[in-house]
Amino acid sequence: MLKQWWKALTVLILAYVFVAGLINPVPKLPILHEAIRNTFFHPPLWIAMMVMLLSSAIFSIRYLRKGKPDDDLIAVELANTALLFGVLGCITGSVWAYFAWGDLWPNDPKTNGVAVGMLMYLAYFVLRRSFDDEMRRARISSVYNIFAFAIFIPLILILPRFTDSLHPGNGGNPGFNQYDSDNSIKMIIRPAFVGFTLLGFWITQLRVRLRRLEIDLDEQEESKKSASTHA
């Protein structure tokens, strides 16, 4: 039971983020107004997504080094969770963009980079389905996963800084910390970063357990078929 403390912490943090994020006073900024409350959800979802993608790339590296199928399994499920958080990040970002800029998907280098990055990871899952041999699938998709992450990070964190961007902290725009003089944002967004990241690992853990169970059941079925054939 003591090993599950982080799950209780995840629930407490996210409960605090959701309640405080909706009722706590926030800075009154031009254009953003009450839409600034999305700060507590949209950026943390993206941060959690990037942590999941980094972890996925690390497990792909581990697979290439050690050849353990379980490392490949964990890498895939981390990428799955990251994609889920990416979709949620796109939805919250579109809602925010609509109320702040009047467009669900503005022509912005960061949003366009995110779209390209998401398509890259969708291609990762398509690539995995194109191989029947498990070892070959794991090796090739692991290499792809590592390079996809290496390309994804510059797309959403580096390139937007060299062009005009609507996002804070990019294209010469000041970040939110320039406006947040009373720490009303930081006291919620920082726990949100931790809470959503822990939630991502929790979801991944459940998915990995489910996949392991499915693999065990498939192996049992195969052994039964083999035994009945020999009988």
Q: Give the C-alpha separation, 49 to 64, whole Å.
A: 23
Least confident stretch, 13-22, 182-191, 213-222: 213-222
- pLDDT at residue 174 is higher than 50: no
Tokens encoding 216: 């065990």
How does residue 122 score in pLDDT terms, banded at 50, 70 and 90? very high
Q: Give the C-alpha separation, 169 to 180, whole Å.
A: 13
Three-state SS for 40-80 is HCHHHHHHHHHHHHHHHHHHHHHHHHHCCHHHHHHHHHHHH
127 and 75 Cβ atoms separated by less than 8 Å: no
Q: What percent of the chain has pLDDT over 90?
A: 48
The pLDDT value recorded for residue 180 is: 47
Burial status of residue 48 (CB atoms within 10 A of its CB: 0-12, 13-18, 19 or more): buried
Q: Give the C-alpha separation, 170 to 109, whole Å.
A: 10
- pLDDT at residue 171 is higher than 70: no
How does residue 95 score in pLDDT terms, banded at 50, 70 and 90? confident
The pLDDT value recorded for residue 179 is: 47
- pLDDT at residue 173 is higher than 50: no
Least confident stretch, 107-116, 136-145, 199-208: 107-116
